[in-house]
Amino acid sequence: MCGQSQARGVDPRVERSRKVIRQAALDELGALGYGAFTIESVAARAHVGKSTIYRLWRDKLDLIADAFETAHEHMVPELASGTATQRITVLIRHVAEVTADSTFSRCIPALIEGAQHDPRLREFHMRYSAQRRQSLTDLVAEGIRDDEFAADIDPDLAVQALLGAVFYGRLMSGDPFDPDRATDLVKTVLHPRMRSSAARRSRSGAAAT
């Protein structure tokens, strides 16, 4: 990692500082909420000077946004192969695992609450959420095109139903959604036809002729 950072001309000490501060920011947000979150409190948790944080981020929202985006990049599962149904299930399981018990999960209520009072945070929250949903929406649309799902399914509405079940458990009840039920949830919402790829290729070949 240090070698890669040096090859890119990035001081590995700065990279380590960024990592520590990002984690401290998420820990602080989850523990205190957005209103009590300050650069000073993050600096104390990360054991760095306040000036160090301001050299790397403009303000607390810039830091929070970067911490969320970076955490997502490191947590998102591999989706290079599999049917649309399989990849959607992987994503839903991942979301359920993250929301059940993680630093990220503890930040969700703080982010929602803060977005009600801070227009800039609300803009970031809406954009971040929309970008995260889009990968699922694209997979549902792919499944419709490949005849895995019924043609009359609304991809946006289906994704809202899938994620709604997970976040309802996290935010509205004391019983987080069980990641092991991801397959059942996908079946309930999308009713995948479970046709084999060989059968789909056969139908595609017949249509071409």
pLDDT digits (tens, 9 = 90+) for 129-162: 999 899 999 999 999 999 999 999 999 999 999 9
Q: What is the pTM of this model?
A: 0.79
Amino acid at 70: T
What is the CA 157 to chain-centroid distance, rounded? 18
Alpha carbons 133 and 156: distance in angstroms, whole number: 9
Long-range pairs for 17-22: beta carbons < 8 A, 24 or more residues apart: 17/48, 17/52, 17/56, 18/56, 20/46, 20/47, 20/48, 21/46, 21/48, 21/52, 21/53, 21/56, 21/63, 22/63, 22/66, 22/67, 22/70, 22/71
Nearest to 147 by CA among 200, 201, 208, 74: 200
Query: Could you tell me the domains of the chain?
Result: 2-68 (1.10.357.10), 79-208 (1.10.357.10)
pLDDT of residue 122: 94
pLDDT of residue 6: 40
Alpha carbons 204 and 137: distance in angstroms, whole number: 24
pLDDT above 80 (res 5): no
| Residue whose entry in the numeric block shows the structure tokens 């990035």 | 10
The pLDDT tens digits of the residues spanning 51-108 come to 999 999 999 999 999 999 998 888 888 888 899 999 999 999 999 998 887 788 889 8
Q: 20 vs 16, 67, 108, 131, CA distance in Å?
A: 6, 10, 20, 25
Alpha carbons 195 and 209: distance in angstroms, whole number: 21
Helices (H), 1-118: 2-7, 12-32, 39-46, 50-56, 60-75, 84-100, 103-115
- Of the pLDDT bands very low, low, confident and very high (cuts 50, 70, 90), residue 10 is low
